[in-house]
């Protein structure tokens, strides 16, 4: 799989790592059920601390993009591609809302008010 880190990105490193893997899943780099390389391998490849990588991986598990299975390592979840894409768009929406002065709660209200 091909992973890309934006060198000009100001976000915390663990978010960048999560973003790189999310992007890879969304672009079909790995399919649902595929095993991810071990965190240590990812950390060596990306030049990032293993704990930082693990933090990024846990965030992706919480988003439902990855699954941690005992004995099987970390795998890409079912429907992870669509989900990763959706999560990515929501992130963009939150960033855009913040830019024009809307908080996350304002966004939630907006979504709830949608017909």
Partner 1 sequence: MNDSEPVGTGPATTPRPGAVRAGAAWAGAVWALGVLALLVTMPLVARDRLPDPVATHWNGSRPDGSMSVTSAALFPAGVWLALVLAAVVARRYWGGSASGLPAALLAGGGVLLIGAQASIVHANLGRSHWQDADSANLWVAVVMALTALASALACLATRRPQSALAGAGPAAREPVMDLPDVERVVWLSWAANPALQLTAALLGLGAVGTAVASGTGLTDPHWMLLLPLAALALGIGAVSSVRARVTAKGLVVGFGPLGWPRRSWSPAEIESARAEQRTAAQAGGFGYRVNRLGTTVMLRSGGCLVVRTRAGAEFAVSIDDAERGAALLNALADRADAGRT
Identify which of residues 39 and 77 has a Cβ nearer to partner 1 in the complex: 39
Say how far apart CA 89 and CA 38 lie, in whole Å. 27
Q: How far is the CB of 13 from partner 1 (least distance, A)?
A: 12
Q: Is 79 in the site for partner 1 (CB under 8 A)?
A: no
User: Counting contacts by CB under 8 A, is residue 7 touching partner 1?
Assistant: yes
If the CB atoms of residues 30 and 87 are measured against partner 1, the closer one turns out to be 30
> Are 83 and 65 contacting, i.e. CB atoms less than 8 angstroms apart?
yes
Residue 85 DSSP code: H
Q: How far is CA 65 from CA 8, 12, 40, 96, in A?
A: 25, 19, 19, 23
Taking contact as CB under 8 A, which single stretch among the options 37-45, 62-70, 82-90, 101-109 is the one that binds partner 1?
37-45
| Cβ atoms within 10 Å of 3's Cβ, excluding its own | 15
44 binds partner 1 (CB under 8 A): yes
Q: Which residues bind partner 1 (CB under 8 A)?
A: 1-8, 37, 41-42, 44-47
């Amino acid at each position: 799989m091909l992973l890309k880190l934006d060198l000009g990105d100001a976000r915390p490193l663990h978010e960048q790592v999560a973003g790189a893997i999310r992007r890879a899943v969304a672009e079909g780099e790995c399919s649902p059920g595929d095993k991810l390389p071990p965190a240590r391998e990812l950390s060596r490849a990306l030049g990032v601390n293993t704990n930082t990588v693990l933090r990024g991986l846990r965030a992706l598990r919480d988003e439902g993009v990855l699954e941690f299975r005992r004995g099987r390592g970390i795998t890409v979840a079912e429907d992870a591609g669509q989900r990763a894409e959706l999560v990515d768009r929501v992130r963009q929406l939150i960033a855009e809302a913040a830019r024009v002065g809307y908080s996350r709660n304002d966004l939630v209200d907006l979504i709830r008010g949608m017909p």
